């Protein structure tokens, strides 16, 4: 972006600015409120005007995420893995753009930003490989003391509101979004308040990656303002508070109790380290299904 600004000083060609938009239900709306806010780099230079989402945008995103849930959670794990891998392919293709955006957002040198973007793409690939393995790792048959067959399977909890980390605008973002959707949930993501541009660009990548519309919805704006209606929304099943400070996190956790949302509290995370499976299991339910097997009693067969 800073490059773009430099170009505006030249007379031969004016660069084309991008109007950053939200990503909701597979479409790119402006905020219904018509509001924007200034996004600048770490030195204070203006980068773009990002949408300042409203409560209504948050509620629209919930509707989109709910609508997408049946199809996405019902897709085969293999299919979900294929689509997530395709996201990584698209990210790789836009690598230069993200390097620029991450460098501006986080005040990193080109090479450091490139390392962050590479790690982010690798992170996405890592989660793409999890879709068809998590059930084998955390589910399974239970040796019941009786004539029953009984199987525990993990299932997505539903619509998950994700407050993306504030500092790590891209690697942190992907580290909290990918596990939520890899397991079949749908997500409403609130981008880093100060550095929302990589998240909004991620929306463009997702739109071109065979990911059904509504599976991931990206909102930018004031985290506290957007998170409040999501935390109290009766059709949201879980909330990841990664991007909330302690005061906001407590407030949102109290609101989330109203329909017993699953809550992942903020915690110190090193996003550059290999993640465990916690961010996936936090948004999974375990379903245990029983069936009689018939038994061989003293009098012989009962089947």
- Structure-token match 């379903």, residue found: 287
8 A C-beta contact, residue 117 and residue 95: yes
Measured from the CB atom, the residue of 137 and 296 that comes closer to other proteins is 137
Position among 6, 78, 246, 302 found at the interface with other proteins (CB under 8 A): 246
Q: Give the tokens for residue 183.
A: 């397991």
Position among 15, 78, 93, 254 found at the interface with other proteins (CB under 8 A): 254
Does the footprint of other proteins cover residue 96 (CB under 8 A)?
Answer: no
The b/e string for 22-60 (b: 16+ C-beta within 10 A; e otherwise) is bbbbbebebbbeeebbebebeeeeebbebbbbbeebbbb
What number of other Cβ atoms are within 10 A of residue 137's Cβ? 12
Measured from the CB atom, the residue of 200 and 252 that comes closer to other proteins is 252
Stretch that binds other proteins, among 2-10, 38-46, 134-142, 217-225 (CB under 8 A): 134-142
Please tell me the total number of residues recorded for the chain in this structure. 303
Position among 260, 268, 273, 298 found at the interface with other proteins (CB under 8 A): 260
Q: Dihedral sign, CA of 173, 176, 179, 181?
A: negative
Q: Give the tokens for residue 141.
A: 């048959």
Q: How far is the CB of 295 from other proteins (least distance, A)?
A: 12
Beta-sheet pairing, 284-292 with 148-156:
antiparallel
- Structure-token match 């600015």, residue found: 17
Stretch that binds other proteins, among 99-107, 120-128, 214-222, 250-258 (CB under 8 A): 250-258
8 A C-beta contact, residue 37 and residue 22: no
Residue 9: HSE in the Cβ half-sphere, 13 Å Cα cutoff: 4
Site string for other proteins, 213-242 (x = CB under 8 A): ------------------------x-----
Measured from the CB atom, the residue of 110 and 291 that comes closer to other proteins is 291
Does the footprint of other proteins cover residue 286 (CB under 8 A)?
Answer: yes
What number of other Cβ atoms are within 10 A of residue 286's Cβ? 11
Q: What is the largest CA-CA distance in the chain?
A: 97
Measured from the CB atom, the residue of 34 and 74 that comes closer to other proteins is 74
Q: How far is the CB of 186 from other proteins (least distance, A)?
A: 15
Q: How far is the CB of 275 from other proteins (least distance, A)?
A: 13
Does the footprint of other proteins cover residue 38 (CB under 8 A)?
Answer: no
Position among 144, 208, 210, 296 found at the interface with other proteins (CB under 8 A): 144
Does the footprint of other proteins cover residue 297 (CB under 8 A)?
Answer: no
Q: How far is the CB of 60 from other proteins (least distance, A)?
A: 23
Measured from the CB atom, the residue of 221 and 266 that comes closer to other proteins is 266
Residue 220: strand, helix, or coil: coil
Q: Which residues in this chain contact other proteins in the complex, by CB under 8 A?
A: 137-138, 142-146, 148, 150, 152, 157, 237, 246, 249-250, 253-254, 256-260, 262, 276, 278, 285-292
């Amino acid at each position: 972006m800073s490059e773009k600004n430099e170009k505006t000083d030249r007379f031969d060609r004016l660069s084309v600015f991008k109007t950053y938009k939200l990503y909701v239900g597979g479409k790119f709306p402006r905020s219904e409120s018509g509001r924007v806010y200034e996004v600048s780099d770490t030195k204070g230079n203006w980068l773009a005007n990002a949408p300042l989402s409203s409560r209504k945008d948050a509620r629209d995103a919930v509707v989109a995420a709910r609508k997408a849930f049946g199809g996405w959670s019902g897709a085969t794990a293999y299919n979900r893995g294929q689509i997530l891998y395709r996201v990584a392919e698209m990210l790789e293709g836009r690598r230069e753009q993200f390097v620029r955006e991450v460098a501006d957002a986080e005040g990193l040198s080109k090479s450091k930003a490139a390392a962050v973007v590479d790690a982010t793409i690798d992170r996405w690939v890592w989660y793409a490989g999890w879709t068809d393995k998590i059930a084998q790792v955390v589910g399974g048959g239970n040796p019941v003391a009786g004539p029953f067959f009984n199987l525990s399977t993990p299932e997505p909890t539903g619509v998950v509101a994700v407050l993306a980390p504030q500092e790590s605008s891209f690697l942190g973002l992907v580290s909290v979004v990918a596990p939520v959707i890899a397991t079949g949930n749908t997500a409403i993501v609130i981008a880093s308040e100060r550095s929302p541009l990589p998240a909004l660009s991620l929306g463009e990548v997702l739109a071109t990656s065979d990911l059904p519309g509504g599976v991931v919805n990206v909102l930018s704006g004031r985290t506290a303002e957007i998170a409040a209606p999501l935390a109290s929304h009766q059709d949201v099943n879980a909330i990841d508070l990664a991007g909330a400070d302690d005061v906001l996190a407590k407030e949102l956790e109290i609101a989330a109790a109203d329909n017993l949302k699953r809550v992942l509290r903020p915690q110190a995370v090193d996003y550059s380290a290999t993640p465990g499976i916690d961010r996936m299991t936090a948004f999974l339910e375990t379903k245990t299904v029983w069936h009689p097997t018939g038994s061989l009693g003293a009098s012989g067969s009962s089947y």
